[in-house]
Structure 1
């Protein structure tokens, strides 16, 4: 996909807003005791925030694994994103996958809350990185 700078910025803006909306859904479900759904929405919020960053570099991976790999390559290795945050991405992906596809998988309020906290931290950092990248464009 070849996009102009303005198109990259617009798509990134859409994706970061989507990340915040998904995060709000995660909080709503956490507060409603729907812990597995909260973790699912929290992970997808992080994925949307990740994609908001990647598109600014002209990268638009089609898979979850591709997104994680491209984040590591273009943001962690360059020092823009901490290793801790990519580990949070991996943790949320693993929890979401286990809960969505595993038989008899459950999660308690503590781990679900931890997942939502990790998502918030990731999104907040992504928003700051995004602003810096846009200022450099």
Structure 2
């Protein structure tokens, strides 16, 4: 996909807004003690935020693994975010897979709250990165 600067900014903004909505859903699900669903929404919020940043580089991965790889390559290894944020993203992906697909895996309040906290921190960092990247476009 070849996008001009304004299209990249628009798509990034759309994805970041989506991340905020998904994170709000995760919070509501936490309050309702819907742990698995909250973990799912926390992950997808972080995924949408990651894709919001990556599109500003002209990168639009089509798979979860592709996003994970590019977060590490473009954001962590290039020094835009500390390694712990990349680890949080990987952890959110694995936790979401367990919550959605694993049999006999218990997701409890601690798991869901940690996923929400990590997603919130990840998204805040992404917002800072996006603001910096937009200044450079």
TM-based fold match above 0.5 = yes
Q: Hey, what's the Cα distance between the residues in 2 that align with 1:5 and 1:125?
A: 22
How far apart, CA to CA, are the structure 2 residues paired with 1:17 and 1:51?
A: 12
Give me the TM-score of the superposition, normalised by structure 2: 0.98
Q: Hey, what's the Cα distance between the residues in 1 that align with 2:68 and 2:48?
A: 12
Number of the residue aligned with 1:32? 32
Aligned partner of 1:10 in structure 2 is 10
Within a 5 Å distance, the mapping from 1:118-137 to structure 2 comes to 118-137=118-137
Q: What is the TM-score when the length of structure 1 is the normalising length?
A: 0.98
Question: Does the residue aligned with 2:93 lie in a helix, a strand or coil?
Answer: helix
Distance (Å, rounded) in 1 between the aligned partners of 2:53 and 2:106: 31
The residue matched to 1:106 in structure 2 has which SS? coil
Residue 71 of structure 1 is matched in structure 2 by: 71
Gaps (5+ residues) in structure 1? Answer: none
What residue is the counterpart of 2:86 in the other structure? 86
The total of aligned residue pairs comes to: 137
Which residue of 1 is the match for residue 53 of structure 2?
53
Secondary structure, counterpart of 1:107 in structure 2: coil
Give runs of ≥4 in structure 1 deviating > 6 Å: none
Rounded to whole Å, the distance in 1 between the matches of 2:4 and 2:27 is: 35
Rounded to whole Å, the distance in 1 between the matches of 2:73 and 2:133 is 16
Structure 2: segments with no counterpart, 5+ residues = none
